[in-house]
Amino acid sequence: AQKVTQAQTEISVVEKEDVTLDCVYETRDTTYYLFWYKQPPSGELVFLIRRNSFDEQNEISGRYSWNFQKSTSSFNFTITASQVVDSAVYFCALSTPGTGANNLFFGTGTRLTVIP
Amino acid sequence: EAGVAQSPRYKIIEKRQSVAFWCNPISGHATLYWYQQILGQGPKLLIQFQNNGVVDDSQLPKDRFSAERLKGVDSTLKIQPAKLEDSAVYLCASSLDQKDTQYFGPGTRLTVL
């Protein structure tokens, strides 16, 4: 069975601080994809990144970076120099498309509040 | 490029009433998904379509929920009759094909009184 755990329910940081959101996943499939989505107060889920299980290279996109470690089944997300606009709920998700279906299994989310 | 469109954005009904939600996916996307997001939780898949066929509806409560995508483009999700526990945000997503990234619409917030 697929499972995603986001142990941090809520995090508050002061603007310009760095913050890391943790994600731990479980799957027996060898081929899988990991995702991060952002859900601002408007409610729409905004896609941030997708990584496949064969690519453990870390990725950086502007102030965002992701650390994928298969050895610890983790896919953590770091925001550098946080801004008020980063305030949102962030979801980590897993899909295992081997069966043909493409169900996204989501964690429970981490609510990030950036204080000005 | 236009994103996933959903309507209505908000709906309030009384229990035992019926309600329908509409979704228009990103143009050219063959795969369409409906998710239910209960307050404080992550979204959970209800049903996945590939063109106008159902790929996965194992989590859809079929005694009260139904969904269709007759022409392989727009989709409608219906609840009949609604229960209090159906209060949630209903999210529609689409992807180019079954193994591609899913892009979400703004959701419909349903309140059942």
So what's the pLDDT on residue A100?
A: 63
**Alpha-helical regions (H) of chain A:** none
**Chain segment B1-26, per-residue pLDDT in tens:** 689 999 999 999 999 999 999 999 99
Other Cβ atoms within 10 Å of A95 Cβ, number: 23
Contact (CB<8Å) B91/A102: no
Closest in B56, B101, B107 to A50, CB measured = B101
Nearest chain B residue (CA) to A111: B40
pLDDT at residue A101 above 90?
A: no
pLDDT bracket for residue B50 (50, 70, 90)? very high
The string of pLDDT tens digits covering residues A38-94 is 999 888 999 999 999 998 888 888 999 999 999 999 999 999 999 999 999 999 999
- Reading the block at residue B53, the tokens are 């066929």
The verdict on B6 touching A (C-beta cutoff 8 Å) is no
Strands A104-106 and A59-61: unpaired
**pLDDT tens column, A8-48:** 999 999 999 999 999 999 999 989 999 999 999 888 999 99
Option in B48, B101, B103 nearest A101 (CB):
B48
